[in-house]
Copies of this chain bind each other. A is one copy, B any other.
Amino acid sequence: MKFVCYKDTIIKALNSVVKGVASKTTMPILEGILIQTNEGEIKLTTYDLEIGIEYTMKCDIKEHGSTVVNATMFTEIIRKLPDSEINISVNENNLLIIECEGALYKLATMNPDEFPDLPKIEVENSIELEQGTLKNMIRKTIFAVSSDENRPIFSGCLFEIKDNKLNVVAIDGFRLALRKINLPVAVNDFKAVIPAKTLNEVIKILEDSFEMIKIGISKNQALFEMENCKIVTRILEGEFLNYNSVIPDNWQTRVRVNRTDLQNSFERISLISSSAIEKEKKYPVRVTVDIGKMIISCTNQTGDAKEEVFITTEGKYLEAGFNPKYFLDCLKAIDDEEIFVEFGSNISPCLVKSVENNDYVYMILPIRLKNE
Q: Does A76 contact B (CB under 8 A)?
A: yes
> A92-134 interface mask toward B, CB cutoff 8 Å, 1 = contact, 0 = none?
0001000000111111100000000000000000000000000
Chain B residues near A82: list those with CB within 8 A. 264
Known pairs A70-B302, A103-B268 / 15 extra A-B pairs, C-beta < 8 Å: A73-B302, A80-B271, A81-B268, A82-B264, A102-B265, A102-B307, A102-B308, A103-B305, A103-B306, A103-B307, A105-B268, A105-B305, A106-B304, A108-B301, A108-B302
Interface centre among A70, A103, A106, A308 (most CB of B within 10 A): A103
A/B interface sample: 11 pairs, CB < 8 A: A73-B271, A80-B264, A95-B303, A102-B307, A102-B308, A103-B305, A103-B306, A103-B307, A105-B303, A106-B305, A108-B301
Q: Are A73 and B275 in contact (CB under 8 A)?
A: yes
**How many A residues face the partner with a CB closer than 8 A?**
32
- Expressed in whole angstroms, the minimum distance between the Cβ of A279 and any Cβ of chain B is 19
Q: Are A95 and B304 in contact (CB under 8 A)?
A: yes
- Bound-state CA distance A268–B102 (Å) is 11
- Bound-state CA distance A81–B73 (Å) is 45
Q: Does A309 contact B (CB under 8 A)?
A: yes
Q: Are B268 and A80 in contact (CB under 8 A)?
A: yes
Tell me the chain A residues, 234-260 only, with Cβ under 8 Å from chain B: none
Interface centre among A73, A265, A268, A303 (most CB of B within 10 A): A303
Q: Are A303 and B108 in contact (CB under 8 A)?
A: yes
Chain B residues near A73: list those with CB within 8 A. 271-272, 275, 302-303
- Bound-state CA distance A272–B264 (Å) is 47
- Bound-state CA distance A103–B106 (Å) is 61
Q: Are B302 and A76 in contact (CB under 8 A)?
A: no
Q: Does A310 contact B (CB under 8 A)?
A: yes
Q: Does A267 contact B (CB under 8 A)?
A: yes
- Cβ-closest chain B residue relative to A102: B308
Q: Does A77 contact B (CB under 8 A)?
A: yes
- Bound-state CA distance A304–B105 (Å) is 6
- Cβ-closest chain B residue relative to A97: B304
